[in-house]
Structure 1
Amino acid sequence: MWGGLQVLAASVAAVTTVPDDRLGQGFADGDEPCLKEAYRRWGALVYTVASRKLGDAEEAKDVTQQVFVGAWNSRKTFDPQRGSLKTWLMGITNKKIADALTRRSRNQRDVEALTSVTGIAEQSAPASESVVDHLLLTREMESLTEQQRLVLRMAFYEDLSQSQIAERTGLPLGTVKTHTRRGLMRLKKRLEVDGEAHR
């Protein structure tokens, strides 16, 4: 999709200079040439801001794609009378960056929580091993029963207590505790088996 956006920008060979206010109104009205022009003007800015805050070029490309696709899909919510298109796009950019950082933090917390509970010491492993560990944990989570998976995801991804999980799911607190314990024990056994297999 990033390549598609580059082609989109490149296809604007000779764009008539349009004032920002008219560009914003055209964008809100669904005028596709205005999308192309908005990307031509501010695509590099969005990418640069995302790249600096995330420190990852590929992730910044994804965020840039999300910003323009998301802005175009929600263009009816943009009101040119309340602010410029550039300001609106940068607001979306900051939100997408925050979302990306939150996902990154949750993934890291997920790995740390599981490795802590299962007793697997997280040593200073190469980045490639960390990625493998994360993929392994994700795969093993899929092997759990639906309710075990639900309870553990709510605990790790949403940082909810067992009481909060019980309240949200409607399950008895004892059932939540049982699913948590059994799910973690099953993960521990699976991870220990996989660990032995890779020694």
Structure 2
Amino acid sequence: MADRKILLIGTAAAVGVLAGGALFLTQQRAGDPYAQCTGSAVAGGMDSFGTEFTLTRDDGQRVTSAEVFNQPTLLYFGYTFCPDVCPLDSARNAEVAAIMEDRGETLQTVFVTVDPRRDTPEVLADYTDMFSDDMIGLTGSEQEIAAVNQGWRNYYKANDEDDQEYYLVDHMTNTYLVMPGGHTVDYFPRDALPGDMADSVGCFLDAT
């Protein structure tokens, strides 16, 4: 009988701890307007992504991060000489923006190069225009591009040891959702589908 009482007390205590933990998590998430939309869990949270910057837009103008992120944005890091991944991802991101436009929502797309040596503003303009008239291309100095990539934890490496002209660049392929003011709220892997991305973006826009 004593053992039964101990078991019941232990079970009740465990339930209490679980209930308390659930309440604590609910209270913690209650202050987050995007809690129901976030699909990504990363160390440090999404607030750890991003940085202020000044880069060169594909029309040759110098722009700040505040000027770029003046509306909801899909942000992607790639390069124009990329043979396969970057064109596919850029086309998908442009499709997501088109879906949102059909739904009456505004979503811009931004392409930041990881290959500033070859990706001049003119090269970026020709490249982004293949996917959307509204896609923004950004480049800068080697140091500026390195700082921006570091801000979004984006790994990249040019394989140019043997060829300084036709080299490839290793890089990550996440697409980030950045809200006005430069607040990164989520990211999408390269296998994310346009419709699913649009639904997720819509959730964030509705919660804003």
Tell me, yes or no, whether TM beats 0.5.
no
The one of the two structures with greater contact order (alpha-carbon pairs below 8 A, sep at least 6) is 2
- Structure (1 or 2) with the greater helix fraction: 1
- Structure (1 or 2) with the greater strand fraction: 2
Q: Which has the higher Rg, Structure 1 or Structure 2? A: 1
Give the TM-score normalised by structure 2: 0.28
Give the TM-score normalised by structure 1: 0.29
